[in-house]
């Protein structure tokens, strides 16, 4: 049965002084989510933006916000981000109380998600799969856009897909990093259902067409 891929464009490489026209273009293209990478300079070696910017985006778009917290101990801040998130995603490696935090995200009315870095084995989050609606596999080291895709992500997607089926779950499997038409096809074949694309989309000559082509994988 044909099922289209979901696309979650990342604004990490966007011109932040001209975000609204870019977001409107994504809306017109029919993108599924808007991916917002929150970085704290501690868990990852970069700083991006926080709640005030996300609040402004939320107030000017109807796109569901896919908020990816690349921050240390995100449990300290989830109440603030949950006000604006459709999906609220925390890193397995960043949160000592990951189970309680994922449960709280759902109580706050968001879809909980968990992310694993390239060096984290997928088996680490098998016990968490029943608590989340999505698992994000990083196919680059988190913190910067424009990195090359790590093929090891494909094996992780395959394993997570197989394990979610074994547990009788229907999870979204998202992949982030180095996504282009070639790597997107590999991820789709490995079980991915959501693609995060940033530099690839912003460097394309026709972003709406690129989004639609990814959705058709």
Active site residues: 37, 176
Give the span between the Cα atoms of 6 and 85, in whole angstroms.
Answer: 17
68, 115 in Cβ contact below 8 A? yes
Give the span between the Cα atoms of 185 and 82, in whole angstroms.
Answer: 32
E strands present in the chain = 6-9, 34-39, 65-70, 87-91, 111-116, 134-138, 172-176, 194-197
Q: Which residue has the tokens 């979610």?
A: 164
What's the half-sphere exposure (Cβ side, CA atoms, 13 Å) at 68?
30
Any bridge partners for residue 12, and if so which? none
Give the span between the Cα atoms of 59 and 180, in whole angstroms.
Answer: 30
């Amino acid at each position: 049965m044909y099922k289209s891929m979901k696309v979650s464009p990342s604004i990490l490489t966007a011109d932040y002084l001209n975000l609204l026209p870019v977001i409107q273009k994504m809306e017109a293209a029919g993108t599924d989510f808007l991916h917002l990478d929150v970085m704290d300079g501690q868990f990852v070696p970069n700083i991006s933006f926080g709640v005030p910017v996300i609040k402004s985006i939320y107030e000017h778009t109807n796109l569901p916000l896919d908020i990816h917290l690349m921050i240390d101990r995100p449990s300290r801040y989830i109440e603030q981000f949950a006000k604006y998130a459709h999906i609220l995603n925390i890193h397995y490696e960043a949160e000592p109380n990951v189970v309680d935090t994922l449960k709280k995200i759902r109580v706050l009315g968001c879809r909980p998600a968990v992310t694993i870095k390239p060096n984290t084995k997928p088996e680490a989050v098998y016990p968490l799969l029943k608590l989340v609606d999505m698992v994000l596999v990083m196919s680059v080291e988190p913190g910067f856009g424009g990195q090359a895709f790590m093929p090891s992500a494909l094996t992780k997607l395959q394993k997570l897909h197989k394990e979610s089926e074994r547990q009788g779950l229907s999870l979204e499997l998202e992949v982030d990093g180095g996504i282009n038409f070639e790597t997107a096809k590999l991820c789709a074949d490995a079980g991915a259902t959501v693609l995060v694309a940033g530099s690839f989309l912003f460097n394309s000559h026709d972003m709406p067409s690129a989004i639609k082509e990814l959705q058709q994988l």
